Amino acid sequence: MPTCVPSLNASLSKLVPADAAMTTRRQFVKAMAALPPALALSQSLAATPEASRLALVIGNANYRTTPLRNPVNDAQAMGKLLEQAGFRIQSHLNAGRDEMIGAIRRFGAAANRPETRLAVFYYAGHGAQLDWRNYLLPIDAVVEKQEHIKQRCVDLGLLLGELVAGQAKSFVILLDACRDDPFGLGYQPDRKGLSQFDAPVGSLLAYATAPGRAAADGEGAHGLYTEHLLREFAVHNVRIEDALKRVRLNVRLQSQGEQIPWETTSLESDIMLFGTRPQKLADTEMEQLLEREIEYWNRIKNSVVIDEWVTYLRDYPNGRFAEIAQARLNRLLVANRMSKTAAVPKSPSQEPTHPAIELAPGHPASQVLASSANPYSSGYFPLGRRYSVGDEATIRESDLLTGVEVRIFTQRVTRVDVVADRVEINDGAGIWDLMGNPIKVGDREYDVPLQLYPAELQVGKTWTAAFKLTARGRSSNAYYDLRIAAREKVRVPAGEFDAFRIDGLGWNNTVGYQLEIHLWVMPGLIVPVRRDWIVRGRHQGRYKETQRHELVSLHQQATALD
């Protein structure tokens, strides 16, 4: 990317400090409650434009060699929706290169004014990638060879360079720009679609489909992606991240898995296009919502009915087991697709796709995951865990503060039940789900699997793990707010790994303990390569537990990575 985007590789904001004020009961319950969507906002309501909200909308369809059906309709509808949400709109339809560059520069200048708090850029049309950089195609672009992309298209880096992160500023970039054959038959790029790159600080980037894939222009009045954006963005009092999760789910199902939108984010505050946070509910009302979600879990936890998991994700996009539900849905969709192509399909969780992994001191860890060739992204990977009976990890436990070794122990997989989503460790001393989320650890049991791990690994991803913990006959309510904060080098006895670091901070509201956890995770490995766990008491933040686990060796028969 151009050097004018210094924030592109900046680290994400840190979690709140350890001595932050104690979370109240209401805040705890609110963090746990994932409310179902509210009623959609009436399309007849038009808001007065706000100085704090600005949007640039571009829709390009009238290309000389590869015209498109829907981008103009898409851009007009998105502009209307954003106008109803109180945005000041700059709109350009069928724009040439000079017009697009001028519009982007004016938009950037306006977005950086002190009064602007939220700036949205929406583009529908052709897009392409070259050397890991993304380009938007003006309607007058004639591309006959590779160098013409740089000369005649618009580098998305121009837009990113215009947006300067600042306090209380947020930027949202929506790209419905991955149609097939953007240049017709004259020139074919080496890679399809757009390239992945991590969102600059304070921004969210949303794509119509996965990196390197094509998106459908749509058979109706709108492109497939924008059709669902319009529907979900119109819902009142919903975070934009939750709306995009529903968009991804709906597009994936409607396209039968051919198109899966994705996002990368480093937003530092919640954004809602319509309305504000939902009205506060009484504690009893919020607890009822929590109990309703637990009942939902108990009803579908062993279900193989795709629609039941889909309904949950639509109702609770940031729910207490939303990541688990997404992983379960992924497995069911793969199994369903396999059943249509094979007479006797095997479970996707039983088919090895990679050779066995052997990690130990002196064995190279580079076999696990190579560094990304893309200089602008830390990558996007499925969690990719697959457990087999006989898999074995040896762990060194030490005190986090003193470094003193406490013990060396082994976690051995002794039973795997794919249908029940259950992995037994050391003959039932521990129980995990197929993602590695704990259900039972010694005398500690969780009402739903403690979703410490997401379905996909990508810097900036956030989720919540809310749970009831029962130990020695006593129960307590707790939660973690989790985020993939970075991809970084970490050294443990088993070697050096280029791992994703998950940071979690939360509270056990019942006993008043502050909880902090850090996990270094590699795609495909069945255990984290390192885990730091800190518990502080209610009085002056005194340490109750300071534990570090480091991987010493690993024998693993397979992964679920493609």
Shared domain check, 363 and 345: no
**333, 350, 367: which is the final residue of a domain?**
350
What interhelical angle do 240-254 and 306-315 show, nearest 10?
160
**265, 291, 316: which is the final residue of a domain?**
265
Q: Label residue 268 exposed, middle or buried (CB < 10 Å: 0-12, 13-18, 19+).
A: middle
Number of domains observed in the structure of the chain: 3
Distance CA(328)–CA(304), nearest Å, equals 9
- The three-state secondary structure class of 74 is helix
Shared domain check, 425 and 528: yes
pLDDT at 341: 65
- Using pLDDT thresholds of 50, 70 and 90, give the confidence band for residue 218: low
Number of neighbouring beta carbons within 10 Å of residue 34? 20
Residue 5 in any domain: the answer is no
Given CA atoms 344, 348, 354, 359 in this order, what sign does their dihedral have? Answer: negative
Distance CA(117)–CA(168), nearest Å, equals 6
Distance CA(113)–CA(554), nearest Å, equals 53
Please determine, for residue 397, whether its predicted confidence score (pLDDT) is greater than 70: yes
Shared domain check, 528 and 496: yes
Shared domain check, 343 and 362: no
Residue 1 in any domain: the answer is no
Residue 22 in any domain: the answer is no
**350, 374, 407: which is the final residue of a domain?**
350
- pLDDT tens-digit readout, 460-509: 999 999 899 999 999 999 999 999 999 999 999 999 999 999 999 999 98
Distance CA(545)–CA(557), nearest Å, equals 33
Contact 44, 107 (CB under 8 A): no
Distance CA(303)–CA(308), nearest Å, equals 8
Shared domain check, 311 and 163: no
- pLDDT tens-digit readout, 40-60: 333 334 456 788 999 999 999
Shared domain check, 411 and 468: yes
Residue 277 in any domain: the answer is no
Shared domain check, 164 and 224: yes
- pLDDT tens-digit readout, 521-540: 999 999 999 999 999 997 76
Shared domain check, 385 and 344: no
pTM of the model: 0.85
Shared domain check, 484 and 510: yes
Percent of the chain whose pLDDT exceeds 90: 62
- pLDDT tens-digit readout, 125-177: 999 998 899 999 999 998 888 889 999 999 999 999 999 877 789 999 999 98
Residue 19 in any domain: the answer is no
Distance CA(513)–CA(515), nearest Å, equals 6
- What are the distances in angstroms from CA 346 to CA 258, 304, 331, 334? 22, 15, 12, 10
- Using pLDDT thresholds of 50, 70 and 90, give the confidence band for residue 286: low
pLDDT at 371: 67
What CATH number does residue 197 fall under?
3.40.50.1460
Two tokens at 359? Answer: 């990690």
Please determine, for residue 301, whether its predicted confidence score (pLDDT) is greater than 50: yes
Distance CA(428)–CA(446), nearest Å, equals 15
Residue 508 in any domain: the answer is yes
Shared domain check, 547 and 410: yes
Residue 319 in any domain: the answer is yes
Distance CA(245)–CA(237), nearest Å, equals 15
Q: What SS3 string covers 101-121?
A: HHHHHHHHHHHCCCCCCEEEE
Q: 17 or 393, which is more confident?
A: 393
Shared domain check, 114 and 239: yes
Shared domain check, 335 and 252: no
Residue 79 in any domain: the answer is yes
Q: Which domain holds residue 326?
A: 283-350
- pLDDT tens-digit readout, 420-455: 999 999 999 999 999 999 999 999 999 999 999 999
Q: 357 or 287, which is more confident?
A: 357
What CATH number does residue 407 fall under?
2.40.360
**Residue 459: closest CA among 213, 129, 197:** 197
- Give me the amino acid identity at 102: G
Mean pLDDT, rounded, of the chain? 85
